[in-house]
């Protein structure tokens, strides 16, 4: 999402960094990577048959984002036959042949998958562009906020916000401990937060600093309380910076500590996404089960 904003509104990025010369030089170098690119398509790779759902990024919500951005959206299925790498390569070749694309841009920051995407793009004739690679997290967050993006925390790996000794606890013990801390009830292998459920996105229903977790006291080590919160400056200072210092958490969740979905930005037509939700817990993960609550009125 940030990459798209850099491509379409580069001037906002330069304004956001003010007089910080180091950041200005950094942003200018990143903008140079995409200055000749034209965005023609949003692509989502999904498991073949769509038998597995995304806990952190539901496809239905990604489709709403594409509509809000006014972009065509291609959903490409990935299978293990003959290998996942071969399947990605075949789909990237399909993008080149079907849409005439010459580059694929991703928001990757770190190599957390053994250079998987560079290997997938190799030999396809499609360049892989990673404008955010290695970016300082503070700078990235400043850009996100400058673009008016509202990242909703949709999934949390609660073990990332616990001491190492705590992480070694048996899975069920971890589930029960988290349930007691956050008010979950265990049912059918899933934990549901009784106070978490409803909708947001309309007038008077936005996820602000309090978010869905307004009744839960934020504290270092309570990863469940991040769920449903908007990643704004308050949450960053209140929870993520302390968690970085205590547990080494990446402030942008690059190691899978948490995941987000943008529900509004300066590029969204028709206002914020309108979503309904409930909170669930499976194993180490607490996540929002999201769906569209009503039709949006997209800008023409």
Residues in Cβ contact with 233 at an 8 Å cutoff, skipping those fewer than 6 apart = 145
Relative orientation angle of helices 21-34 and 137-146, to the nearest 10 degrees = 70
Answer for the pair 234, 154: CB distance below 8 angstroms, yes or no. Answer: no
Domains, the chain, ranges and CATH? 2-137 (3.40.50), 151-292 (no CATH)
Q: Are strands 184-187 and 190-200 parallel, antiparallel or unpaired?
A: antiparallel
Instruction: List the chain pLDDT tens, one digit each, 300 residues.
Output: 999 999 999 999 999 988 899 999 999 999 999 999 999 999 999 998 766 667 789 999 999 999 999 999 999 999 998 999 999 999 999 999 999 999 999 999 999 888 999 999 999 999 999 999 999 999 999 999 999 999 999 999 999 988 753 444 433 343 433 333 333 332 223 333 333 444 444 333 333 333 333 333 445 557 888 999 999 999 999 999 999 999 999 999 999 999 999 999 999 999 999 988 889 999 999 999 987 765 555 544
Cα maximum dimension of the chain? 55
CB 155 within 8 A of CB 284: no
Q: What is the CA radius of gyration of the chain?
A: 20
10 Å CB burial of residue 22 (0-12, 13-18, 19+) is exposed
């Amino acid at each position: 999402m940030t990459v798209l904003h850099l491509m379409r509104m580069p001037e906002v990025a330069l304004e956001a960094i003010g007089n910080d010369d180091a950041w200005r030089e950094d942003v200018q170098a990143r903008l140079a990577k995409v200055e000749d690119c034209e965005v023609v398509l949003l692509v989502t790779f999904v498991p073949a048959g769509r038998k597995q759902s995304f806990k952190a990024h539901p496809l239905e919500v990604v489709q709403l984002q594409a509509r809000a951005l006014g972009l065509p959206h291609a959903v490409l299925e990935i299978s293990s036959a003959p290998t996942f790498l071969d399947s990605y390569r075949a789909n990237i070749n399909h993008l080149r042949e079907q849409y005439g694309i010459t580059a694929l841009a991703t928001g990757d920051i770190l190599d957390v998958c053994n250079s998987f995407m560079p290997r997938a793009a190799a030999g396809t004739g499609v360049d892989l562009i990673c404008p955010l690679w290695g970016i300082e997290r503070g700078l990235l967050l400043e850009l996100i906020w400058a673009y008016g993006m509202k990242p909703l925390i949709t999934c949390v790996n609660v073990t990332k916000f616990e001491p190492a000794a705590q992480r070694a606890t048996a899975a069920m013990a971890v589930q029960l401990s988290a349930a007691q801390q956050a008010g979950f009830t265990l049912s059918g292998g899933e934990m549901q937060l009784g106070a978490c459920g409803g909708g947001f996105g309309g007038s008077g229903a936005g996820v602000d600093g309090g978010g869905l977790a307004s009744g839960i006291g934020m504290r270092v080590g309570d990863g469940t309380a991040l769920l449903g919160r908007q990643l704004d400056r308050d949450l960053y200072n209140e929870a993520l910076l302390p968690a970085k210092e205590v547990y080494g958490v990446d402030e942008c969740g690059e190691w899978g500590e948490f995941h987000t979905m943008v529900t509004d930005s300066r590029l969204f037509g028709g206002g914020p996404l309108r979503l309904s939700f409930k909170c669930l817990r499976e194993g180490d993960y607490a996540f929002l089960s999201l769906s569209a609550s009503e039709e949006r009125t997209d800008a023409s």
